[in-house]
């Protein structure tokens, strides 16, 4: 059995920032399914938002204006006190990262460069060409190394240990040594990322299964707003690799098969820099109505950067150019990039407050796996990197206060050992019985989600999704893993994850069916209007006694910004 004062699960930006803030006072163990610099935070390209007012067109920008843009972009489902904290902290976070060595791009006066992003009233997105997540992640990882944080790569958490409303750690699968290990901790923080791989078309890495959300949910922790799934407007056809919003921030056009910049038809003021939910629906509408292009890999719209010129593309978007050449053989200097909308981000997640606390004592969440909620029904580009670092930092403040409080109990180690035995019995069954192959089940789940719980939704499609998911859950009971060996058994790990993916998908589809309105990224063709009178509330899902989601609702926190119609 392992022991740490504080257990952090997840090696991305939220987990690393929390570890940096906690390691000097406490024994911190950071457990990650992959090496930290392979976590999905590294894939973020375009930038991180902060009201620095460095751009000549944003000299009067303030954190309050950043907060308003975020709340408006969320379609007023964000909890406004949480948004205000995030936006007020944003400049401090960017300067802190700069002082720790993050190589931001610069304006000629050497101030941190800022570019426009969708849904923002000012160009406030700080960036490092088009590899912003990469440089932020490496900066924080280097700092964890310098501070001696104990990192455990290739560990996968399979259960959350909760007794009498208090979290005492986890049961984890050590892939390198092939062992199931109980890890006891006084406080546990999940920073495990999003659930993109529940969908077939996703910009997310293969590791983004939402298993952390699923583990928490199965253990009885409530999860919030799961029906709100963001689709990024511009993913490369075929591979679904992200083509950053910075492409449009730097002046790229979206063009249909008639040669039109069609966003003029939908949002003539903002054009390509409207919020992501609107741009994604606009692109999908163009495709559905026959104004897209045909490709053996699917229908698409063109992202045209040619007018920017080679020098600007190479200076501001070198990674995008390289990806386009390497993966589809197209140089955006000379030809448009074929793109389609794809699942990109999880607005929903573990229900937390502004201190990253859940209703379980000693259990915390931060980053994409958590729902504070600062993104509401739709996240603005540039706010995800900010969310991870801000709330990773805030967790490093709130956890010590809990550890120094009275009332902490130490669990009987036999309780953790019993949980370990349960997992070992489950693994024995998975490796000795059954006929269903896990990859086939996951493929069918992801295709169902993309087909029935996508950009546009209807009652019939959502009911079909729920029926299909129920059938897939029955098939999972007969799943079989090829090898009983635990050492580096990724098929076994993926099969264990698959159970949590099924639960995550179930809550997404059920929440989408129950929410009879359109808000942000959730668009019901049969209920196309936003309905504040009945649906200005968060959806809370917790696992019921029958093993199915039990749904309740929670009020949205309104401070200074009354809901109004979104206009751009």
Which residues are catalytically annotated?
A: 276
Angle at CA of residue 82, ends 78 and 83, nearest 5°: 65
- Report CA Rg, the chain: 23
User: Are the CB atoms for 436 and 444 separated by under 8 Å?
Assistant: no
Q: What is the DSSP string of 408-463?
A: --PPPHHHHHHHHHHHHHHHHHHTTS--B-HHHHHHHHHHHHHHHSSSSB-HHHHH
Please, what sign has the CA dihedral across residues 296, 297, 303, 309? negative
User: Are the CB atoms for 3 and 183 separated by under 8 Å?
Assistant: yes
- Unique residue bearing structure tokens 């058994």: 489
Angle at CA of residue 33, ends 28 and 39, nearest 5°: 90
The CB density around residue 26, as the number of other CB atoms within 10 Å, is 17
188: which 2 tokens?
């546990």
User: How many helices (H) and strands (E) would you count in the chain?
Assistant: 16, 20
Which of 503, 214, 551, 222 shows the shortest CA–CA distance to 360?
222
SS3 per residue for 117-155: CCCCCCCCEECCCCCHHHHHHHHHHHHHHHCCCEEEECE
Which of 233, 37, 248 shows the shortest CA–CA distance to 135?
37
499: which 2 tokens?
């159970």
Distance of CA 1 to CAs 42, 160, 260, 335, Å? 32, 15, 62, 57
Pairing of strands 349-351, 370-371: parallel
Note the Cα 159 to chain centre separation in Å: 21
Can you tell me the distance from the alpha carbon of 155 to that of 180, in angstroms, rounded to the nearest whole number?
Answer: 10
Can you tell me the distance from the alpha carbon of 87 to that of 62, in angstroms, rounded to the nearest whole number?
Answer: 9
Residues 6+ apart with CB under 8 A from 93: 48, 50, 386, 389, 390, 393
> What are the residues facing 302 on neighbouring strands?
255, 338
């Amino acid at each position: 059995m392992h022991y740490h004062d504080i257990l952090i699960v997840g090696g991305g930006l939220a987990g690393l920032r929390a570890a940096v803030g906690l390691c000097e006072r406490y024994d911190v163990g950071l457990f990650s399914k992959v090496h930290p610099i392979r976590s999905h935070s590294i894939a973020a390209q375009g930038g991180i938002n902060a009201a620095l007012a460095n751009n000549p067109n944003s000299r009067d920008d303030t954190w309050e204006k950043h907060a308003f843009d975020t709340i408006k972009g969320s379609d007023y489902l964000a909890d406004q006190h949480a948004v205000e904290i995030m936006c007020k902290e944003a400049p401090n976070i960017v300067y802190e990262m700069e002082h720790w060595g993050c190589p931001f791009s610069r304006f000629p006066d050497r101030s941190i460069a800022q570019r426009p992003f969708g849904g923002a009233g000012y160009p406030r997105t700080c960036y490092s060409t088009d590899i912003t997540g990469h440089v932020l992640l490496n900066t924080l990882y280097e700092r964890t190394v310098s501070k001696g944080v104990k990192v455990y790569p290739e560990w996968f958490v399979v259960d959350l240990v909760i007794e009498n409303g208090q979290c005492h750690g986890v049961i984890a699968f050590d892939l390198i040594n092939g062992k199931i290990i109980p890890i006891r901790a006084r406080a546990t923080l999940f920073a495990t990322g999003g659930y993109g791989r529940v969908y077939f078309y996703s910009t997310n890495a293969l590791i983004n299964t939402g298993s952390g959300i699923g583990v928490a949910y199965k253990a009885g922790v409530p999860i919030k707003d799961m029906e709100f799934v963001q689709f990024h407007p511009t993913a490369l056809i075929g591979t679904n690799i992200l083509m950053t919003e910075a492409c449009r921030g730097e002046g790229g056009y979206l063009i249909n098969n008639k040669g039109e910049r069609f966003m003029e038809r939908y949002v003539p003021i903002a054009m390509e820099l409207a919020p992501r939910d609107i741009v994604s629906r606009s692109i999908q509408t163009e495709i559905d109505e026959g104004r897209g292009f045909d490709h053996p890999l699917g229908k698409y719209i063109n992202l045209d950067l040619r007018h920017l010129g080679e020098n600007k593309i190479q200076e501001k978007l070198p990674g995008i150019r390289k990806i386009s050449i390497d993966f589809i053989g197209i140089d955006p200097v000379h030809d448009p990039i074929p793109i389609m909308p794809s699942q990109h981000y999880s607005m929903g997640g573990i229900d937390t407050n502004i201190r990253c606390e859940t209703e379980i004592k000693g259990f915390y969440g931060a980053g994409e796996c958590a729902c504070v909620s600062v993104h509401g029904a739709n996240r603005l580009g540039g706010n995800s990197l900010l969310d991870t670092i801000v709330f990773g930092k805030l967790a490093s403040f709130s956890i010590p206060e809990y550890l120094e409080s009275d009332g902490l109990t130490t669990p009987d180690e036999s309780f953790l050992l019993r949980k370990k035995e349960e997992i070992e019995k489950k693994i024995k069954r998975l490796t000795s019985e059954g006929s269903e192959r896990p990859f086939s089940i996951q493929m069918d789940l992801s295709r169902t989600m993309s087909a029935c719980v996508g950009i546009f939704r209807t009652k019939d499609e959502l009911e079909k999704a729920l029926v299909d998911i129920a059938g897939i859950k029955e098939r999972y009971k007969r799943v079989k893993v090829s090898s009983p060996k635990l050492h580096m058994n990724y098929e076994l790990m993926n099969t264990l994850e698959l159970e949590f993916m099924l639960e995550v998908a179930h809550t997404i589809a059920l929440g989408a069916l129950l929410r009879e309105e359109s808000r942000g990224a959730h668009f019901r063709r049969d209920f196309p209007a936003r309905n504040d009178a009945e649906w200005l509330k968060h959806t809370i899902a917790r696992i019921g006694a029958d093993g199915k989601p039990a749904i309740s609702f929670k009020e949205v926190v309104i401070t200074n910004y009354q809901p109004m119609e979104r206009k751009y």
